[in-house]
Every structure is written in C-alpha cells, then in structure tokens.
Amino acid sequence: MLWLDLGNTRLKYWLTDDVGQIVAHHAKQHLQAPAELLMGLTDRFERYAPDFIGISSVLGEELNLKVAETLGRLNIPFDFVHVDAAHPLMHSNYDANQLGCDRWLQMLGAVDKKKRQCVVGCGTAVTIDLIDHAQHLGGYIFPSIYLQRESLFSGTKQITISNGAFDSITQGTTTQDAVHHGILLSIVGAINEITHRHPNFELIMTGGDAEIIAQHVNRPVRLRDDLMLNGLARYFDNSQNKLVG
C-alpha cells in the first residue's frame, strides 16, 4: 500500500508491506503545487507498484482534481479520505463538513474505545481534540508557535524577526526571549488548562512540534509519530475491507 498525506505545506508518503511495516517513506514541501511534485514522483511510485494508493488531502477540490489526474496516469487504484462523523471506529459531534481530514485521521489513528483521550496535533495549526470512548466531543484550534510569531512580527513595528528559540516558558529578559517564551507558554498553558478540566483523559501528542511542546506540559504525554499513517490504514481497512496491518 502507498499512503499519501497532502498537508498545508508538505507532501508525505509511506509505502507499507502486507503486514503494515514501513518499507519506504519521504516528506517534501510542495509549495502549493502538489500535482507538479507528484508528477516528479510518479516514476518512483510506479517502481513501488503498490496495490492501492490511499490519500489524505486538506488542499481543496480544485487541487485534489489535479492530484487525481496525475495519479490516474499510474493505472493504480486510488481513493481520497472522506470524513465520516459516523465512522465505525469513532463517532463525532463535530460538523463533518468542517472537520479537516488530517485532524480526523490523527484521531482515528489514536482512538481506543476503552479510553478517554485528548489528542493534540502540533503541525501548521495546533489542534486539541477530546474523545470519550470513541465519541469525539469536539476541540480547539490554535495557530502554531511559528504562525503566532509571524503574526506578531508582521503586526508590530518595534519587534523584528529574530532567531530566538522556543526552548522555555520562563519569563524572558530580552524581547526575543519574551516573544518566544510567551508564545510557547500560550500553547502549553492551553493544553494544561484543558487537561486539568479533563483529568481522566490520556494525553497524546503528534506532529513536528510535539516534542518542543510536550516537555513543558505538566502531566505525562504519550508521543506518537504514526497517527496519520495509522489513521489512513484504519480508514481504508474499514471502508474498503483492505487489510493493512
């Protein structure tokens, strides 16, 4: 199986064998031209000769049509994920038309009907979702630490872009540190507040900034870097009866 994740800024893919083990993977910025990037990868995908291509995309119908046209030249069966609020693995109180498939697949990759879970995705946006025994209760969306920094720099005249680090939530003694520590604190504080209100929920974090944020959260965190892949496999295993491990 070949799994594609077309995010806001990156294209990621995984090739898995018959038991679900990853045998190849890659991630690359697509610069809002995913079809063109895929065109350059089609020879590689053809060599892989997968039985099926499963696709998660947040890029919208117009770009998805271009992606479908590109993949159609491979003569390999493929399909896109469609959010299903009544999915057998997890029901959702959220409006399915407004729930991004990447966010939904992260939850689908983590969901356990025996548990209460808080799933935090740390990507281009920070998403926090609450799941009670496979019932998605809803959640929150925040700009990422980098989007917050860009917004602050573009909206003020006295603060300029710097090379500061998101490495602490202690008070800063320079403007550079105050900005970076303050932004990180805003995300960490939100997670701490939500988990304080839901103390019996397992806290799971995933995404590129998960390690940066998790080390400052005041309760145990389970880091997962496989949620998107696991969610894709679970989705197509249920929707098309394809065994992927």
Q: Is the pLDDT of residue 221 over 50?
A: yes
* Active-site annotation, residues: 102
**Please, what is the Cα angle at 135 between 131 and 141, to 5 degrees?**
45
CA distance 243 to 234: 9
Mean pLDDT (the chain) is 90
Please name each of the domains of the chain with its CATH number: 2-80 (3.30.420.40), 98-225 (3.30.420.40)
CA distance 25 to 22: 7
Q: Give per-residue pLDDT as tens, 134-161.
A: 999 999 999 999 999 998 888 877 677 6
Taking the alpha carbons at both ends of the chain, their separation in whole angstroms is 11
Share of the chain above pLDDT 70, in %: 94
Task: Please give the pLDDT value at position 161.
Answer: 67
Task: Please give the pLDDT value at position 239.
Answer: 64
Task: Please give the pLDDT value at position 241.
Answer: 46
Task: Please give the pLDDT value at position 79.
Answer: 95
Task: Please give the pLDDT value at position 245.
Answer: 32
Task: Give the strand order in the sheet containing 202-206.
Answer: 86-87, 90-92, 135-143, 125-132, 116-122, 202-206, 222-223
Q: Is the pLDDT of residue 8 over 90?
A: no
Task: Please give the pLDDT value at position 242.
Answer: 38
Q: Give per-residue pLDDT as tens, 225-243.
A: 989 999 999 999 866 543 3
Nearest one of 193, 151, 145, 190 to 166, comparing CA atoms? 145
Residue 168: pLDDT band (50, 70, 90) is: very high
Task: Please give the pLDDT value at position 27.
Answer: 86
CA distance 191 to 206: 13
Task: Please give the pLDDT value at position 244.
Answer: 35
In Å, how far from its chain's centre is CA 107? 9
Is there a contact between 37 and 44 (Cβ–Cβ < 8 Å)?
no
Task: Please give the pLDDT value at position 209.
Answer: 95
Task: Please give the pLDDT value at position 103.
Answer: 93
Task: Please give the pLDDT value at position 33.
Answer: 79
DSSP-assigned beta bridge partners for residue 87: 90
Task: Please give the pLDDT value at position 240.
Answer: 55
